[in-house]
Chains A and B, each alone.
Chain A
Amino acid sequence: MNILVVENNRTKGKEIIQVLRKMDLNLENLYQVHTGSKGLEILKTYLIDLMLIDIDISIIGGLEVLGKMRTVSDYSEVPTIVISSRRDKKLFNAVTSSGLDYLHKPFSWRMLRQKILKFKNGDVAYVL
C-alpha cells in the first residue's frame, strides 16, 4: 500500500509517519510532503493508494489540491482522508458528499487506523 501524507505541520507530519509505520498496514511506500503543490507532484509521479491531507495547509490549500485532483483523471479517484481541526458542519458535508472521508482533529490513532483499513479492505468505493 502506498500512502501520501500532506501535512504542513512538520512535527505532526513526522508523528503521523511514525505511527503509520507501526500500524501493520503492509506499507510499501510512505510519502510525506508539507505543501499542496508537492502533494500534486507526488500524485503525478507515483501510484498512490491513499492520501491523507490536512486541508488547512498553506501555499496551495488542501481544498485547492482536491479541486485540482478532480480535473486530472489519472489521480481523480485516489481514496482520500481529509483532516482538519475545523468543527464546521458545512465543510464536513461538502467533503463527505464528494465521496471523501473526513477525520476531525484531535483524532485517535485507533480511529485513523480504522479509516485506513476501510480503504485497504475495499469497504468504501470512492469517486470524486
Chain B
Amino acid sequence: MSYRREIYEAAEKTFEITCFLFPLEEEEVSSESQERLLLSNMQSVVEFSGAIDGMVIITPSKSLLSAMAGNMLAIDEPNEAEKEEALCEVANIISGNIAPIFSKEGDICYISPPQLLESREKLTKKIRDSLKETVRIFLDEGIADIEVHYQAQEKP
C-alpha cells in the first residue's frame, strides 16, 4: 500500500497555505531554472510515535528554503535563523497531518518538536527496519523532498 498521494496532498496544502507556494508540473520547474532543483543542506526531521513509530524528513531546495521564510515574513532576504524556523514549521505541519495515516485508527498520539537534521548517521539505527515513502513536490520557487519512515506493523 502506498501513501504517496496523502503525503503529497498534505505537503501541497501546507506549502500553499503556510508559505504561499504553489504546485507546478516537474517540467515547469526544470525549464524555469536548474538552480531551483539544487537541494539545500538544511533538513528538518520530526519523529512520531504512538500506534506506529516513524519520522518525517523534509529537504527543500535552496531557492525554496529562502522563499518559504521570505513569504511567511513578507521579506526579501530572510536570515539563516528565519529559514531554519520556517523549515521546522513546515515540517511540523506536514508531519502532524500525515502521521495519523500510518495507523489504522489514526491513533498517533505524539509528534516530537521538529529539529534540524545534523547527522543522518544518527538516524540509521532508527530507520533500519522501517518502510519508506518518498515524495518530491515541485513548487513555483523550487522543490522539496518529503521522506517518511515508518514501522511495518502497529504496536500491539
Chain A contact residues, CB within 8 Å of chain B: 8-12, 14-15, 18, 56, 58, 84-90, 105-108
Contacts and interface: CB of A to CB of B under 8 A. Distances in A.
B130 to A, nearest CB: 21
Closest 7 CB pairs of A and B: A85-B96, A11-B85, A106-B17, A85-B93, A9-B89, A105-B93, A86-B96
Contacts of A107: 17
Contacts of B1: none
Contact of B88 (A9, A86, A89, A108): A9
B54 to A, nearest CB: 15
* Most chain B Cβ neighbours within 10 Å, of A10, A12, A58: A12
A86 B16 CA distance: 18
Interface residues on B, range: 20 to 34
A75 to B, nearest CB: 25
B108 A88 contact: yes
Give chain B's interface secondary structure class: helix
B18 interface: yes
Contacts of B111: 56, 85-86
Contact of A11 (B89, B96, B99, B106): B89
B89 A12 contact: yes
Interface of A, secondary structure class, is loop
A56 B92 contact: yes
A56 B69 CA distance: 20
B89 to A, nearest CB: 5
B85 A10 contact: yes
A56 B97 CA distance: 14
B73 to A, nearest CB: 6
A76 B100 CA distance: 32
B95 interface: yes
A88 B92 contact: no
Nearest to A85: B96
A33 to B, nearest CB: 15
A104 to B, nearest CB: 8
25 contacts: A9-B85, A10-B81, A10-B82, A11-B72, A11-B86, A12-B85, A12-B86, A12-B89, A18-B74, A56-B92, A56-B96, A85-B92, A85-B94, A85-B95, A85-B97, A85-B111, A86-B96, A86-B108, A86-B111, A87-B100, A88-B108, A88-B109, A89-B106, A106-B18, A108-B17
Given A14-B73, A106-B13, A108-B17, A88 B89 contact: no
Contacts of B100: 87-88
Interface string B77-93: 00001100110110011
